[in-house]
Structure 1
């Protein structure tokens, strides 16, 4: 069976960018984004210096994480090993951009769908070579069937020592480098030492613009992204004024003083404010529903008002969650593809069905209770449905709470999200958010007031558990440098004031003190204040946890 791959022969590459230009012309790639590009690094000090060129693109992995993460099979692996994509199915969820450890995918600013190198599949199908191979003046790009011993690529793989990018990710990449330099293949091994005219590319478009939401209009000099600087690193997201932030963790510098002198435009934060907001609303929804129905399930008497409060909070905040998920899509008009054209290995699909099931069971409970209220069902049926649906609601609430952790785990490009503590993180935040929301509701609903003591205890225990989870996710040894740098960015880099000031102090320690004091002196308003602060702390924490890993360069 055919198994296509690439070799980049760095003994021959002259960094002419002919491959980039040919690719853009062949596929009409917009300005500001690339399917293939050339990365320059320099080493040494004048006059003893050298420059190396490395062509970057999709690795057409044998175990492609973008294919697994895509919820609608917009990305797929062909029988010949080429990882291709279908514009017409993509919903613009950007899961593939987070899953790819090689930063090979982008959101096309014209179609608002994902795109990347597809090995010029339309040319291969008619017996032609990819356009970059054909145009390279030095024959530095070699393509072909790696499993055919008669092909040039197969012979080179057998004869030469080759390297790949990030083999530890387990993706089995099929883009090989002869004389590949580790300083170029590992993103943070060659930091930027200075900026000059040709060391950066002009502003990006779409998600590649300085604020991450540009439309590609304006002058060529407007909003230039200096090489290696992330949006907000030297200024705000719109480039207007600096944001207060601590120093970034210093990347490892090669002993030969490798430095990056030319690279692709920065893609910025692709999962923006909608994602932490949806995690927050989801935590409130699942926790609010789970607590009163769990009490019912274990036989604790709970007033109907408490169950109604949990169900309605669950439905309202799940509706908000769904709205935020759709809002985050670059093609929101196609959101229904997730349910109607599912790719079942994707946790985005599994999560969509779990959310639908959770909302459906809550809606069924509400419907039965309404029918009983209007005398269309007997009171016995109304009481029975509480018992029958209690455990399904609790189970679906738990699954809705934690599925996002598995969705993030599919983002192999973001090592920090691979933490085994992330499911616990999500569960703890759901418990805290649910207890906080219900306690606030108990100030107005007498039926919830008998649960105030239990809600205070759950809130306090959840806050303690949250602090332990912080330690587990930030202080323990991380699997690689990317995860360690993201963690350091949170607790001693640009997010340190938010983390220590809001997540830890205002969002955890102060609420703990207020809960204890409120219980001691019997003042519910103190515990209510703790609940509000805890909810704010969760939102700020999710903002840092989701944004920081996306600021770690992948290419």
Structure 2
């Protein structure tokens, strides 16, 4: 083969299920060749029983990485630890893997896992080390029926190219537009569709039991067959949920960090709060900074290699929204630090004043207002970038929502107004008129949030994966978090409405008491949002993909 043709090689794989006997020899050969530890696997054989006794058959599917031409794991990886070679093989570099699990969240085929021994992401890489020395992958060599075939898609003389171009083959989840280069010949649709087969009762599989817990996804459709055929999943392996409670909590703390600055800046710009008000000078930068620091701690602690977090900044892969988000948070933190330093300077040089527009204050008002020019956009970006990060997780259909970024902005407004309402009432003697804008913002943002959640749950979704995720959130394993969280958020939005009707306080109770009831909605809204975020993040990852 000459150098020019070598450059044009694009490796592909065909699994011929008319020959596959389901012997699992490929699984054991892969484990031996690549030293894959127990509890994880790069490839395995899935079994589905189709039909009703006595007219029943067992269908197989060899499951592994699909070597996508448009690999979402490569796009999502923040450090290029997942990369695509010139010959089309999607490979990995463990030395720069930070263990963020973004590749796992992005893979529509659940083909990536964290190695429990070295805590780095890995998957089937086509036995690239064997390909490079002219050998076939271990699974191809060991298969007793030659059901696994590899070849160059660009070579019209290769057997694989001829099968792909001339015979009926299928790929998994073509709607994801990843252009997989793993083709199935003669595979039953009940095996290719991860929701086509019903989950066995009690999670009892042929050789194993899958227990439902917070760290793994139980295989099979939890409700009904996504197929007219009577299909029952008889063997599959459990798959890990990539992002745990720390990512759920991160969305909450990040919402507070961005929302506090956003709401406070709006109050200042619209004249509800003076520039020398402690709410703007101290509460805003300190509270936002504290919760932004907590956000950073949560994100770093969720990494499998937290000591490598700096690689996001030193080896950034700019298509990854994890990288973009990290730099947005960094820039926002600098704005908050500058805000705090400027507040210290103003108080020491000028001193507090009842009127922000005294002659001495006018000279410095420009600088605080000018700080909002970069501060507001960065606060908004900090709030909404998670919507783009979740959308980059192509595997999670519920997160492919074009309204998620504006919804996150509404949530940040809700969280920010709730925190500022509590602190304003608790730390500083403020009158009801001063609290009115915060109460209104809390009530309005809670209403918009509840309406958007209602639309998410009640409207029909285009894919079965999104419908199962919504079911898991509202009626399945995360229903308690969702329902209690939604109830608390509704109460948190209703209670601040009471003080807005002055005739209630005059007729039934003193103004101070009714104001206290309105402020009491703030902690309820905060707790409700925390529970909702957990239900939303975890339910999005609860749908079987393999």
Same fold (TM over 0.5): yes
Q: Is the 8 A contact 1:106 1:115 kept in 2?
A: yes
Q: How big is each residue's C-alpha offset from its partner over 1:391-420, in whole Å with a ceiling of 9 and x where there is no partner?
A: 211111000000001000011111000011
Give yes or no for the alignment of 1:255 onto 2:228: yes
Partner in structure 1 of residue 528 of structure 2: 537
Q: Is the 8 A contact 1:415 1:479 kept in 2?
A: no
Partner in structure 2 of residue 426 of structure 1: 408
Give yes or no for the alignment of 1:463 onto 2:411: no
Helix, strand or coil at the partner of 2:496: helix
Partner in structure 1 of residue 308 of structure 2: 334
Q: Structure 2 CA distance, aligned partners of 1:360 and 1:371?
A: 16
Q: Structure 2 CA distance, aligned partners of 1:196 and 1:188?
A: 15
Give yes or no for the alignment of 1:190 onto 2:171: no
Tell me: CA distance 1:365–1:253, structure 2 relative to 1, closer, same or farther (3 Å). closer
- Unaligned regions of 5+ residues in structure 1, if any? 214-224, 230-247
Paired residues in the alignment total: 518
What's the CA shift for 1:263? 1.1
What's the CA shift for 1:511? 2.1
Helix, strand or coil at the partner of 1:554: coil
Q: How big is each residue's C-alpha offset from its partner over 1:424-483, in whole Å with a ceiling of 9 and x where there is no partner?
A: 221111001000000001123437656411100100100110111102222222120010
What's the CA shift for 1:370? 1.9
What's the CA shift for 1:379? 5.5
Q: Structure 2 CA distance, aligned partners of 1:446 and 1:525?
A: 14
Give yes or no for the alignment of 1:322 onto 2:296: yes
Helix, strand or coil at the partner of 2:493: helix
Q: Structure 2 CA distance, aligned partners of 1:194 and 1:361?
A: 54
| Residues 249-258 or 403-412, more deviating | 249-258
Q: Structure 2 CA distance, aligned partners of 1:41 and 1:363?
A: 58
Partner in structure 2 of residue 511 of structure 1: 492
Tell me: CA distance 1:113–1:507, structure 2 relative to 1, closer, same or farther (3 Å). same
Q: Structure 2 CA distance, aligned partners of 1:259 and 1:198?
A: 10
Q: Is the 8 A contact 1:249 1:489 kept in 2?
A: no
Helix, strand or coil at the partner of 1:367: helix
Q: Pick the aligned partner of 2:262 from 281, 290, 306.
A: 290
Equivalent runs, 1:175-186 vs 2, <5 Å: 175-186=182-193
Partner in structure 2 of residue 414 of structure 1: 396
Helix, strand or coil at the partner of 1:66: helix
Q: Pick the aligned partner of 1:279 from 251, 256, 275.
A: 251
Q: Structure 1 CA distance, aligned partners of 2:152 and 2:121?
A: 26
Q: How big is each residue's C-alpha offset from its partner over 1:324-372, in whole Å with a ceiling of 9 and x where there is no partner?
A: 1111111111111111111000011000000111111110121122233
Q: Structure 1 CA distance, aligned partners of 2:368 and 2:481?
A: 41
Give yes or no for the alignment of 1:494 onto 2:477: yes
Give yes or no for the alignment of 1:477 onto 2:460: yes
Give yes or no for the alignment of 1:68 onto 2:75: yes
Partner in structure 2 of residue 269 of structure 1: 241
Equivalent runs, 1:200-279 vs 2, <5 Å: 200-201=207-208, 212=215, 228=219, 250-264=223-237, 266-279=238-251
Partner in structure 2 of residue 147 of structure 1: 154
Helix, strand or coil at the partner of 1:189: coil
Tell me: CA distance 1:430–1:305, structure 2 relative to 1, closer, same or farther (3 Å). same
Helix, strand or coil at the partner of 1:402: helix
Helix, strand or coil at the partner of 1:188: coil
TM-score, length of structure 2 as denominator length? 0.90
Q: How big is each residue's C-alpha offset from its partner over 1:82-114, in whole Å with a ceiling of 9 and x where there is no partner?
A: 000000111111111110000000011011111
Partner in structure 2 of residue 309 of structure 1: 283
What's the CA shift for 1:44? 1.9
| Residues 358-367 or 518-527, more deviating | 518-527
Partner in structure 2 of residue 222 of structure 1: none
Helix, strand or coil at the partner of 1:88: helix
Runs of 4 or more off by more than 6 Å in structure 1? 195-198
Partner in structure 2 of residue 131 of structure 1: 138
Partner in structure 2 of residue 94 of structure 1: 101
Give yes or no for the alignment of 1:440 onto 2:440: no
Q: Is the 8 A contact 2:49 2:59 kept in 1?
A: yes
Give yes or no for the alignment of 1:363 onto 2:337: yes
What's the CA shift for 1:376? 10
Q: How big is each residue's C-alpha offset from its partner over 1:489-524, in whole Å with a ceiling of 9 and x where there is no partner?
A: 222223333323x2332221x223311223332332
